Structure 1
């Protein structure tokens, strides 16, 4: 690249803003355009490096304290690799503020002046096009070399950066390696790009291992020789087989396997491992070091083959074991032997007698209110169980519904006043369904109820003491709402002293028991009500997006339509009878592939669930997938 004057540099940026082409990398051009169009920066105005005051820097470092501790070893190792080459290492947080720094102390003054120093802010809005800022925007490793920088002040620098993602798939930090001066050619920084990306990969892996010591970790490599010593990616998996963490490389493997975008990690976290790989949680022990490395091969749903190394939990988490008679009667009737529900019942039984707030998580229709009432009944308290759906009450009425009001407290208020639902639950349990829909304006008031154990009715001057247990529920990810600023973090941690996750109906192994329970509920007194084998096949094959509530509605309608007390396929919705038609013989060469593909799709490519619904064993499903060459993408 020829030497440019400052005026040449400014003219090039201006021409790019007008749509002219240039030989710059695509990420550089995109950053220049953001600087002009979004950040309203002027390339003719110099922007000196900015160093945060000590107090602000201290706050940024405290927020990144855990990440700094985990990353420090990787940073020091990288610094040793480039010793004597005048490189400076910067670890910046997601705001672009340098929270850790490694450089030659002999050049401190020059580094500080250039902004390559602790406390410097390299966000794109502050500094223009730079490696840290562009990396935060693009989410990918890149080099911003000399006149790639937007601001003339920074054109002597050559900076290479890579993003550090947290275990949830969110961009948490940026690792940057920079030079005050460097060779003219940008390719001179290719090795720096490789080194910083490799260091970030190891930092993410160390972070994942630290965050999930009590869960399974599955590490991947394309070569068996490097699998156990320097893996390329990793994911963590809980005891029920769901993804709970990942490195950036792990996120890309998961997303690619089912055709998703790794930039939307919410579609990956919480999903069963069987959705992405031809395996189940029970297969993980076969991927430990007990087997030769070359034999530990797994297949992603897109057909990609990877060598895998499973690391067992440091402390195996055992489901709480309680004898049936130790579980309150109210909780015993919630399942018919499903393992996930059995563990949930045992945990709920231990919590029932303790006044801890409980958060219930689960899809719509899974029975969160039934569980809340069962916990209340199991606690054997004198007070009432009071339920309120935060999504069903108009926002302008929620405050008076919850807190009550004095006579004439507001226009339209009852002349006698009204006791609020919180006060109604005094001595008992307040159940807040869809807590994620509670307006922010009320969240702070409700936080006070939990903290102070008192309620202030609308229009009152003095609060009233209350003693109650709060059970809340949501089908939404409250953690995500907190990160988006739509739910108070302090209230979130007050509500989920304990969290109980209810499995969706499609994952429960006690479907036949649940079905019989629902049928019995709708069986007329003194009459019979049964399900024919053909209708049973249709009910088993359905995916049940509405869960138990949907099942209850289907049986209620079928009971009203059926003849002679027997539910036939014709009494069921068309969506269910079409699902039953899918369950044909798998060895039918004309219909088998389509039927199997449809059922796999309905089950999220969960092999065990597909086998259960089709009435065959897992090996048959595996064999037919290979026979027909099926993948999640074809």
Structure 2
């Protein structure tokens, strides 16, 4: 084993530009440690174990992956245990959420960081297999003095990434030894075993999450087609790709000369653009025919063996009722039809890592919907809201992307994490995205395309994994036409669009009033009673400020009430401002105006410049 001093000097020489015989991933990681994380090779640090409460949070968020991967992990550990390996499964933040090792060596393993709860992110632990794998997304061996920190140079660690069905790196599988042979080549078998197990975990995850889709398994040879395929693809009923085992399919894509494309680029594409089949051909690849006859051809001519698995749903049986909405989404409306449609779509989208654009007037509840979508996710992580219109233009870049130490005059000497990085592992909500300066839109596009963020003044980008929800009261498509919003960013953000109805068109206004009063009662610790006339005035108002205006009006009314009794006198003056439209909304005016239009609702709506649904809603309230 090399001495501590010679190891430190070698790292310093690499930092000064010297050519190193070490593997490229090792050299690149050393440079990140020196330049991006400002780690000092002369300062050895003990392995870090996260506190018990924090570990519980990480394990809860990774619970489903741990369950899905358990069989594969146990099989791998049984293969390596006699060689004194330990097995670590780390989440996307580098924290060990599952661990298998010999309990006889618990104390040694804990001191070395080969233990449950250890954090192996590169920025904390320096060059290590888990950290390097998280950054590169590739299998890697970090052997002995490949490690940056001198406290780890006795270890040998081999890791492979685990991607989810949409191509996001969700975990890292690592096997490590406290002591090993000197030659790095001794770990090649370990690399093969850990990469193969990661591929099997991805397959198990795909099969679990796509029970309503077709699954097409692919292999270069027929022998293991149905038990251990090279890759698998999920397809919806129209034959479009909805998910895949990204590690395995990436290798096949390289064989098909599909270079320069990430596996994520295939999502949403028809299978016919990749292979010489379409959705109607899949039944002939199901079990029952010899494996050797189940052949498909890629567009470049590569021939693969294929096995198709039909959706688990039996279309001949009665369709099961729709599952109940998650609580967070259920609480957004009291039966309004338009809102129920938004809630149902949001519930489905919350289970997928798909960018969502929320459109709606100012004050219509876009952030409430974004938070509800976030809270409905299985592993929500942090929710970070950014109002792109509220941050001064000269600060928005450093606020969003963060900055490196000494990036500019007046910067924090320690640097600063940006809001995008703070949201990693969770949801980034970009409110009023239409007000983001054009120069920053291109930088945001790179974050979404590459899953990495580069702080101001930093030499290297840092990996991030985000669920992006954006919102605007402006017509982004129109801004694109005007050249004020990037078209490529627009298409990235609006993979799915949810349109919130304005409050004046909602039929559950009475319910909303009750909900908001209940919230005010909790805040103030006092009960409130809304009398009949005050309620009628609130129901008749057109609410140009939407939910925000309604909430403010009720807070004012509560503050002015005597003994919690809210009367007409307690309501803000603007509630009684009369306009041509609002006058037509009271009982007498509306009936008279409707009569003048020959009882034709469409004609009245055109005359007043409102939607037909507004007229119908007012008539319904008047009974």
TM-score (ref. length: structure 2): 0.54
Query: Distance between the aligned counterparts of 2:318 and 2:249, measured in 1?
Result: 31
Aligned to 1:422: 502
Distance 1:392 1:235, change over 3 A: closer
Check whether the contact 1:216–1:236 (CA below 8 A) recurs between aligned residues: yes
Aligned to 1:250: 249
Describe the SS at the equivalent of 1:224.
Answer: coil
Aligned to 2:135: 137
Describe the SS at the equivalent of 1:309.
Answer: strand
Aligned to 1:456: 548
Q: Which runs of 4+ in 1 moved over 6 A?
A: 318-321, 351-354, 390-395, 397-401
Distance 1:171 1:399, change over 3 A: closer
Please give the residue correspondences for 1:375-394 in structure 2 after superposition, counting only pairs within 5 Å: none
User: What's the offset of the Cα at 1:251?
Assistant: 4.2
Describe the SS at the equivalent of 2:170.
Answer: strand
Distance 1:354 1:179, change over 3 A: closer
Please give the residue correspondences for 1:225-264 in structure 2 after superposition, counting only pairs within 5 Å: 225-247=223-245, 248-254=247-253, 257=256, 259-262=258-261, 264=262
Query: Distance between the aligned counterparts of 1:19 and 1:41, measured in 2?
Result: 17
Aligned to 1:295: 293
Check whether the contact 2:273–2:299 (CA below 8 A) recurs between aligned residues: yes
User: What's the offset of the Cα at 1:352?
Assistant: 7.2
Aligned to 1:268: 266
Please give the residue correspondences for 1:234-633 in structure 2 after superposition, counting only pairs within 5 Å: 234-247=232-245, 248-254=247-253, 257=256, 259-262=258-261, 264-317=262-315, 355-357=340-342, 359=345, 422-427=502-507, 455-457=547-549, 460-462=552-554
Distance 1:394 1:144, change over 3 A: closer
Check whether the contact 1:258–1:276 (CA below 8 A) recurs between aligned residues: no
Aligned to 1:563: none
Q: 1:101-141: CA deviations, max 9, x gaps?
A: 00000000000000000000000000000000001111111
Query: Distance between the aligned counterparts of 1:182 and 1:132, measured in 2?
Result: 18
**Unmatched segments (≥5 aa) in structure 1:** 322-350, 362-367, 370-389, 402-419, 430-453, 466-634
Matched, 1:98 2:190: no
Query: Distance between the aligned counterparts of 2:434 and 2:9, measured in 1?
Result: 59
Query: Distance between the aligned counterparts of 2:309 and 2:556, measured in 1?
Result: 53
User: What's the offset of the Cα at 1:423?
Assistant: 3.0
Describe the SS at the equivalent of 1:208.
Answer: helix
Please give the residue correspondences for 1:117-196 in structure 2 after superposition, counting only pairs within 5 Å: 117-196=115-194
Aligned to 2:13: 15
Aligned to 2:202: 204
Check whether the contact 2:213–2:236 (CA below 8 A) recurs between aligned residues: yes
Query: Distance between the aligned counterparts of 1:64 and 1:236, measured in 2?
Result: 22
Check whether the contact 1:455–1:463 (CA below 8 A) recurs between aligned residues: no
Matched, 1:44 2:42: yes
Check whether the contact 1:257–1:276 (CA below 8 A) recurs between aligned residues: no
Distance 1:278 1:267, change over 3 A: same
Query: Distance between the aligned counterparts of 1:196 and 1:252, measured in 2?
Result: 16
Check whether the contact 1:400–1:458 (CA below 8 A) recurs between aligned residues: no
Distance 1:393 1:91, change over 3 A: closer
Matched, 1:25 2:105: no
Query: Distance between the aligned counterparts of 1:33 and 1:428, measured in 2?
Result: 59
Check whether the contact 1:215–1:316 (CA below 8 A) recurs between aligned residues: no
Describe the SS at the equivalent of 1:455.
Answer: helix
User: What's the offset of the Cα at 1:235?
Assistant: 0.7
Describe the SS at the equivalent of 1:23.
Answer: coil
Aligned to 1:220: 218
Distance 1:188 1:459, change over 3 A: closer
Describe the SS at the equivalent of 2:506.
Answer: coil
Describe the SS at the equivalent of 2:21.
Answer: coil
Distance 1:156 1:393, change over 3 A: closer
User: What's the offset of the Cα at 1:84?
Assistant: 1.8
Describe the SS at the equivalent of 2:202.
Answer: helix
Moved more, 45-54 or 352-361: 352-361
Check whether the contact 2:128–2:157 (CA below 8 A) recurs between aligned residues: yes
Aligned to 2:524: none
User: What's the offset of the Cα at 1:422?
Assistant: 2.1
User: What's the offset of the Cα at 1:303?
Assistant: 1.8
Distance 1:210 1:462, change over 3 A: same
User: What's the offset of the Cα at 1:257?
Assistant: 4.2
User: What's the offset of the Cα at 1:460?
Assistant: 3.8
User: What's the offset of the Cα at 1:224?
Assistant: 1.0
Describe the SS at the equivalent of 2:228.
Answer: coil
Distance 1:316 1:303, change over 3 A: farther
Check whether the contact 2:338–2:501 (CA below 8 A) recurs between aligned residues: no
Q: 1:440-475: CA deviations, max 9, x gaps?
A: xxxxxxxxxxxxxx823189431799xxxxxxxxxx
Query: Distance between the aligned counterparts of 1:398 and 1:185, measured in 2?
Result: 57
Distance 1:457 1:219, change over 3 A: same
Query: Distance between the aligned counterparts of 1:70 and 1:132, measured in 2?
Result: 20
Query: Distance between the aligned counterparts of 1:216 and 1:249, measured in 2?
Result: 18
Query: Distance between the aligned counterparts of 1:457 and 1:353, measured in 2?
Result: 20
Query: Distance between the aligned counterparts of 2:242 and 2:304, measured in 1?
Result: 20
Query: Distance between the aligned counterparts of 1:253 and 1:31, measured in 2?
Result: 27
Check whether the contact 1:258–1:301 (CA below 8 A) recurs between aligned residues: no
Aligned to 2:71: 73
**Unmatched segments (≥5 aa) in structure 2:** 320-335, 350-358, 361-430, 437-470, 476-499, 510-545, 558-623
User: What's the offset of the Cα at 1:319?
Assistant: 12
Distance 1:122 1:394, change over 3 A: closer
TM-score (ref. length: structure 1): 0.53
User: What's the offset of the Cα at 1:82?
Assistant: 1.4
User: What's the offset of the Cα at 1:393?
Assistant: 8.5
Q: 1:309-353: CA deviations, max 9, x gaps?
A: 1111121458999xxxxxxxxxxxxxxxxxxxxxxxxxxxxx979
RMSD: 3.5
Distance 1:155 1:295, change over 3 A: same
